[in-house]
Every structure is written in C-alpha cells, then in structure tokens.
Amino acid sequence: MIAIITIEQKDSLIGQRFDGVQFFNPVQDIDNNWAISIEEINQCINVDFQWVKDLTLSIFNPPLTEPLI
C-alpha cells in the first residue's frame, strides 16, 4: 500500500528522516504520481511530518519496466 502525495509534499520529504534514522523515499507510479509507502507512514515519528498519517492509502501501480539489455 502507498499514499499519493503532491509534488510540493514530495519536495518537502526528500532528504528528511521519518524515524530519526531512515529517509523518506518518494517514488513515482505509472501515472507519474508521487507516492510514499505505508511502512514510511507507519514508522514516521518525525513531528514535522505527522501529516503523512492523514494521507489516503491506495494500491501502488508501478511504472512499466523494460527488459535489461
């Protein structure tokens, strides 16, 4: 499960720790929406980013991948 976030929210999360040790890692789905994982949300104890707890969860639709050459 993931939560879709805005570009502004994505920019605010990059380089920030969600539990004092681990960094947020926003990723893009097949529609180029930015998203963070439920594990990042559940483990988030950073007081500056408690708003992630209010995000709506959904299924992640990954980007299409190409065979390796």
Partner 1 sequence: MMFGYGMGISPTNRGFGGGGGGGAYTARTIAFAAETSIVDTTILDALNTLDQGLIDNSLDSKMVALYPFVGGTATTHKYNFFDPRDLDVAFRLAFFGGWTHSATGIQGNGFTYADTFLTPSTSLSLDNTHASIYSRTDNTRNTFDVWANDGKLVLGLNFSGTEYMRVNQLTYSTKVATNSLGLGLVNRENSTTEKLYRNGTLTLTSARTSSSLSSSTVSLGGQNGAGISWTDREYSFASLGQGMTDSEETIFYNLIQDFQTSLSRQV
Residue closer to partner 1 (CB basis): 24 or 49: 24
Q: Closest approach of Cβ 43 to partner 1, in Å?
A: 6
- Beta strands 2-5 and 34-37 are antiparallel
User: Contact, 18 vs 45, CB < 8 A?
Assistant: yes
State the residues that interact with partner 1 by CB under 8 A: 2, 18-19, 21-25, 27, 36-43, 60, 62, 65-68
10's tokens: 């994505």
> In 10 A of CB 4, how many CB atoms?
16
Q: Closest approach of Cβ 7 to partner 1, in Å?
A: 17
Q: Closest approach of Cβ 65 to partner 1, in Å?
A: 5
